[in-house]
C-alpha cells in the first residue's frame, strides 16, 4: 500500500534545523500517526511522503514556505503590560490567545519584557527556518469513516477524544 489521501500513516521521525540541532523526534516513543491529505502535518513533508510505502526511509529538507511559513515582522508587536490584565507574573516564553490580523485567533508568545512594554510574537516558533526530517514509514492503513469525518486519526498515536 502506498501513502495517498485518506490513509492513516505512521512514521518515525527526527526533525533538525540547519545547525543540525534536534528539534523534535519520535525516537523512544510512539510513531507519529496522521491522516494523509488532511493538512495534519506541514505541506512539504506531506508532499515528500506521497507515494511512499512501509519501510521506506527518506531525508528531506523543507523550505520555510512549505513548513511554518516565512517569519513575518507584522506578527510582532509591543504591547502595554495593562493588556495582560489578570496575569500577575509575565515571563518570556508565556503564550496567550490573541486576535489574528485576519480576525481569527492565534497564539502569541512573549519574547521580551522591558518595564511596562511586552513584546509578543505571533509567528510559529519555527517560522522562517529550513527543516530537515529523517523519516521511516512504519505503517499505512485505510482511515476509518470516523477518522475521515473528523479529519484526523483516532486511537494509538493519534487524537484521543
73-121: CATH topology: Thrombin, subunit H (2.40.10)
Q: Average pLDDT for residues 132-161, to the nearest whole number? A: 85
Domain boundaries, the chain: 7-68+127-150, 73-121
Q: Are 141 and 1 in contact (CB under 8 A)?
A: yes
CATH: 3.40.630.30, 3.10.50.40, 3.90.580.10, 3.40.800.10. Which one for 7-68+127-150?
A: 3.10.50.40
Comparing CA positions, the residue from 159, 151, 157, 160 lying closest to residue 26 is 157
Give the span between the Cα atoms of 115 and 141, in whole angstroms: 54
Determine which helix (DSSP H) or strand (DSSP E) holds 134, and give its type and residue range: strand 131-142
Q: Average pLDDT for residues 129-154, to the nearest whole number? A: 95
Give the span between the Cα atoms of 139 and 7, in whole angstroms: 10
- pLDDT tens, position by position, 42-101: 999 999 999 999 999 999 999 999 999 999 999 999 999 999 988 989 999 999 998 877
Q: Please tell me if the domain spanning 7-68+127-150 has the same topology as the one spanning 73-121.
A: no
* pLDDT given at position 159: 52
* pLDDT given at position 154: 84
Give the span between the Cα atoms of 3 and 141, in whole angstroms: 9
Give the span between the Cα atoms of 115 and 119, in whole angstroms: 11
Statement: residue 155 has pLDDT above 80? no
Statement: residue 157 has pLDDT above 80? no
Helical ranges in the chain per DSSP H: 43-49, 145-150
Amino acid at each position: 500500500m502506498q501513502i495517498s489521501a485518506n490513509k492513516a500513516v505512521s512514521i518515525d521521525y527526527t526533525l533538525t534545523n540547519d545547525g543540525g540541532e534536534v528539534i523534535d523526534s519520535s525516537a523512544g516513543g510512539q510513531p507519529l500517526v496522521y491522516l494523509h491529505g488532511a493538512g495534519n502535518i506541514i505541506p512539504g513533508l506531506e508532499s515528500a511522503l506521497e507515494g511512499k510505502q512501509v519501510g521506506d526511509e527518506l531525508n528531506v529538507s523543507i523550505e520555510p514556505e512549505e513548513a511554518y511559513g516565512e517569519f513575518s515582522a507584522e506578527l510582532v508587536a509591543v504591547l502595554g503590560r495593562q493588556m495582560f490584565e489578570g496575569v500577575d507574573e509575565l515571563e518570556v516564553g508565556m503564550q496567550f490567545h490573541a486576535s489574528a490580523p485576519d480576525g481569527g485567533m492565534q497564539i502569541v508568545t512573549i519574547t521580551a519584557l522591558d518595564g511596562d512594554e511586552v513584546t509578543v510574537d505571533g509567528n510559529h516558533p519555527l517560522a522562517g527556518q529550513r527543516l530537515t526530517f529523517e523519516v521511516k514509514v512504519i505503517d499505512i492503513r485505510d482511515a476509518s469513516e470516523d477518522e475521515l469525518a473528523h479529519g484526523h486519526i483516532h486511537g494509538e498515536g493519534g487524537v484521543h477524544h
